[in-house]
Amino acid sequence: MLYYIIRRSIAAVLMLAVISVVTFFMFYAGPTDPARLTCGKNCTP
């Protein structure tokens, strides 16, 4: 039972890492800044 819990925990950590990397590239590998897409042209700092 302990082996199962350890194996599932490692799988969960790996899945979170993959999801984090994919999300990062979805937002920051695009052609423009994510903040600019959200705010628009008329936004002031």
Query: Does residue 18 sit within a domain?
Result: yes
Query: Does residue 33 sit within a domain?
Result: yes
Can you give the pLDDT at residue 15? Answer: 99
Query: Does residue 14 sit within a domain?
Result: yes
Q: How confident is the model at residue 38 (pLDDT cuts 50, 70, 90)?
A: confident
Query: Does residue 31 sit within a domain?
Result: yes
Q: What is this structure's pTM?
A: 0.61
**Counted domains in the chain:** 1
Query: Does residue 44 sit within a domain?
Result: no
Query: Does residue 45 sit within a domain?
Result: no
**pLDDT tens figures, 4-37:** 999 999 999 999 999 999 998 888 777 777 777 7
**What domain range includes position 15?**
2-39
Residue 1, pLDDT above cutoff 80: yes
Cα–Cα distance measured from residue 14 to residue 4, given in angstroms and rounded to the nearest whole number = 15
Can you give the pLDDT at residue 44? Answer: 74
Can you give the pLDDT at residue 41? Answer: 75
